[in-house]
Amino acid sequence: MELENKTDDIYKDIPAKTAIKNIYDSYGPLLDHIMKSIKAKLVDNIKLSSEVTYKARVKSFNSYYKKVLRQHPKEAAESKGLVCLTDMMGIRMICTFLEDIKEVQEQISSMFDIKEVEIKGANQSFREFGYESVHVLIAIPEDCFPKEIPEGLTIPKDLVCEIQIRTILQDAWAEVEHELIYKTEFTPFDMPLRRKLASMNASLSLADIIFQEIRDYQKKLQTEMNMRRRSFYEMADDLTEVAPSGKTITDSIERVNPYVRGTIDDMLLQAIHAHNAGDLSNAILIYTQIIESKPAPNNIVLSVIYKHRGMAYFTQNDYDNALNDFKCSVDCDPKSFRSIYYEGIVYSIKKDYEKAIERFTTSLSINEYQSHTFYRRALAYYELNQYENAMNDVVAAQKLGLEEEGVKQLHSKLMEKFDMKM
């Protein structure tokens, strides 16, 4: 009799699976509605320069039940309501770069009431393997509940939604690791296998870091290129405001270079850095070394280098060499509409307006959304007294959003010409 009583006590602590399933299933549509509403908020409001991929799911009952047995067996056995887990609703946000994770986390914090933030894998030693991921638990916003709660259901006060933020590589590791370890009875115990897993995890982590370094490099390089391009355009607008060679045109930007010294990427970064610092002679020297390197770079690379060297020559007022380099750039890549546009600028400075118009027109035939090219062609038309063509180009430039003072002044001059005709 005493043994039977002890057995009965054991059975009392075992949750009734059918009863728990019925409760969980009754909450299924509600959880699904909430999860989709939160995901929609994220999609509409999270803004990144790179793309974010979303995965969302309501935890399956089998996964839910196993976790309840592990974490809340007594509560499940005694409760007649829903036993809450923090990951019943899960939304995974998969980003491209490591920098995106922090940005997404900050944006989520501004949108929701944050209950907890956990960085998975942060405390692992270098000997351990496992995925990294940021897990954010948010309270459910009122506007994410359905307008009418199904009869008989009570919303738990501690109901949350889990948002996981990972990079593409972190997510890939997590998916493979889940299949290898968590969904099988056998897990690798042998040191060689564990070392292989740790090596793979380290390789993916290193790849994420390298991708971020390259991303940082691209951003800083693009910033320098944009500043140099603005300087180039300013010279074309007003040739009297040329910075003397050797003096700083713009503040130096901290150099980030993930490339091996002596490679084309490394040399290009050095050349652009020198170019922006006003060290034009050194920039031209490095551009020339790249062009003459053996084996020769492919035509796309050569087109870019010729274009940059041409801009350096232009800044030195060496228009013949600049024009020749822009032509070489187009020879290497006939679709290089910017190099063709730069040819047009040089022809305009040389007062060969017909040739300038031809080059601007060719550039626009490749890319018709160039507001500055319309404006430059309008100026050339104006010099040839083709006022109607000039006005059409001014209007096109303004429609594309160009609101510079020079455009407005040209528009006023053209209006005066039309008034005089009338």
Helix (H, G, I), strand (E, B) or coil at 269: helix
d(CA 353, CA 37): 59
Strand 114-120's sheet: what is its strand order? 53-58, 89-95, 160-167, 133-139, 114-120
Tokens representing 406 are 């020079």
pLDDT digits (tens, 9 = 90+) for 267-311: 877 887 788 788 889 989 998 998 998 888 889 989 989 998 999
64 compared with 200, residue with greater pLDDT: 64
332: confidence class by pLDDT, cuts 50, 70, 90: very high
Tokens representing 80 are 């007649």
Interstrand relation of 89-95 and 114-120 (parallel, antiparallel or unpaired)? unpaired
Highest-pLDDT range among 241-245, 257-261, 335-339, 416-420: 335-339
Tokens representing 15 are 């949750």
What are residue 89's DSSP bridge partners? 58
What is the mean pLDDT of the segment spanning 351-379? Answer: 95
> Quick check: 422 pLDDT over 70?
no
What is the mean pLDDT of the segment spanning 353-378? Answer: 95
Q: What does the pLDDT read at residue 250? A: 34
55: confidence class by pLDDT, cuts 50, 70, 90: very high
CB proximity list for 224: less than 8 A, separation 6 or greater: 253, 272, 273, 275, 276
Q: What does the pLDDT read at residue 190? A: 59
Q: How far is CA 410 from the centre of its chain?
A: 38
Let me know if 383 is exposed, middle or buried by CB neighbors in 10 A (0-12, 13-18, 19+).
middle
Q: Lowest mean pLDDT of 47-56, 123-132, 185-194, 207-216, name the range.
A: 123-132
pLDDT digits (tens, 9 = 90+) for 94-114: 999 988 999 999 999 999 999
Q: What does the pLDDT read at residue 189? A: 54
Interstrand relation of 89-95 and 160-167 (parallel, antiparallel or unpaired)? parallel
What are residue 56's DSSP bridge partners? 91
Rg (CA), the chain: 32
Which residue type occupies 339? S
Q: Do the Cβ atoms of 174 and 97 come closer than 8 Å? A: no
188 compared with 22, residue with greater pLDDT: 22
Cis peptide before 150 (omega within 30 of 0): no
259: confidence class by pLDDT, cuts 50, 70, 90: very low
Task: Count the alpha carbons within 13 Å of 209 in the hemisphere toward its beta carbon.
Answer: 7
Mean pLDDT, rounded, of the chain: 82
Task: Count the alpha carbons within 13 Å of 407 in the hemisphere toward its beta carbon.
Answer: 20
Tokens representing 216 are 């940082």
